[in-house]
Amino acid sequence: MSESVPDVTPVNPRSPRDGKQPQPGRILFFDTTLRDGEQSPGCVMYGPEKLRMAHQIAALGVDILEAGFAIASEGDAESIRNIAREVGSSANAPVIASLARAKREDIEAAARSTEPAARPRIHTFLSTSDLHLAAKLKITRAQALDQIAEMVALARTYCGDVEFSPEDATRTDPDFLVRVCEVAIQAGATTLNLPDTVGYCLPQDYAGMFRMVRERVPGIENIVLSAHCHDDLGLAVANSIASIQAGVRQVECAVNGIGERAGNASLEELAAIFVTRRDQFPFRHNIVMNQLYPTSQMLATCISFGAAPNKAIVGANAFAHAAGIHQHGVIANPLTYEIMTPESVGVPHNSLVLGKHSGRRALEHRLIELGHRLSHAELDAVYHRFTELADRKKTIYDQDLIRLLKPEPKVSALA
């Protein structure tokens, strides 16, 4: 990219995937797996892995793909540029974003790295809480406002789509936060993201902050409000949902909820909530639901760990049933204990885990699947042997069940 200001054609503000004001009733998904997610210990990805994941995240249907932090390293800048060229160059591709501190060199690096994208975005940020201003940046509020105004305006000379985030917004003095929002909008920000950077908020706090800025900031109705929540108190998804109820129309999230410290809001959980609880959230979005599990699995191959077994939607136990009462119900009708089908989110099927909590119905069901239909008396006998084995063995395999069909011969005592 040359140092001269490029001729940027503004994106269509009515397109559902251009990162601008969404159509009424639509939620924009901003995926930060490759930026905030990769900053999590154990989640570093090399260039080819990031590109592979970017293709899959685009196939998942996200509206904005934050590809990295261009100034962080030459490798990150190159990865963003490759993603912009190979994933984001078509008319229906997601917006490709790069993070940038509110510094000239960061913004210029972000502009260069996202240039090949059909719809680039520069996402710039500056801390605004008094704690961060004093301890980290060592600047005054007035200096912060000047820096925000100057750098957002600079970003707009490179890109028609600029997002600004006041870092640590939820611990920023409300009156000062209002002024920050005013300055960012006046300087040309098209999306305003108010992050719960340290995961401190309760849902009512986070929703209240958005209601407050919507009431007090002039011109805020013309920009997209965005939520970015961390999971330090386990409330990232709950806070994101609360923000939607307060008027937010862009949610920032990550596959498997990876991210700094305890992570970000989980993309798959948010998408599933909007589908399963459409009665409360009558919004449309572009997420391709049956790609949730494949995307989660691909991420696990690119980083050093997969989703926790008890992770909602994509964890190994999300559609697994171990208790006999639950297994009986699921055999009769899966809706008794499943609020969505596994296939709807890309999981091949549910599973009945046989163990000491299982009942006769689950055992009979699995034996029939293995080709063994037993009489009532035979099933009682096998079930008795099964419970004895389950008290000694944590995992019961199919070969164990086959052996249980025939009782072990009794060994006669020697005379």
pLDDT in tens, 378-396: 999 999 888 989 898 888 8
Residue 13 CB burial class (10 angstroms; 0-12, 13-18, ≥19):
middle
pLDDT of residue 398: 83
pLDDT of residue 8: 30
pLDDT of residue 18: 47
Q: Could you tell me where the DSSP H helices lie in 13-140?
A: 47-60, 74-86, 104-114, 130-132
Residues of the chain with pLDDT > 70, as a percent, come to: 93
d(CA 364, CA 63): 47
Where do the structural domains in the chain lie, given as residue ranges? 28-302, 320-404
DSSP summary character for residue 231: -
Task: Write the pLDDT tens digit of every residue in 23-69.
Answer: 779 999 999 999 999 999 999 999 999 999 999 999 999 999 999 99
The residue behind tokens 């060199």 is 105
pLDDT of residue 9: 31
pLDDT of residue 412: 53
pTM over 0.75: yes
Task: Write the pLDDT tens digit of every residue in 282-296.
Answer: 999 999 999 999 999
**Residue 229's closest CA among 206, 196, 266?**
196
Task: Write the pLDDT tens digit of every residue in 231-276.
Answer: 999 999 999 999 999 999 999 999 999 999 999 999 999 999 999 9
For the 28-302 domain, the top CATH level (class) is alpha beta
pLDDT of residue 11: 34
Give the chain's mean pLDDT. 91
If one counts every other C-beta atom within 10 angstroms of the C-beta of residue 412, the result is 6
Q: Which tokens in the block code for residue 267?
A: 């993309």
Q: In this structure, which amino acid lies at residue 20?
A: K
174-183 average pLDDT score: 98
Task: Decide if pLDDT at 373 tops 80.
Answer: yes
Domain formed by 320-404, architecture? Orthogonal Bundle (1.10)
Band (410; pLDDT cuts 50, 70, 90): low
pLDDT of residue 13: 32
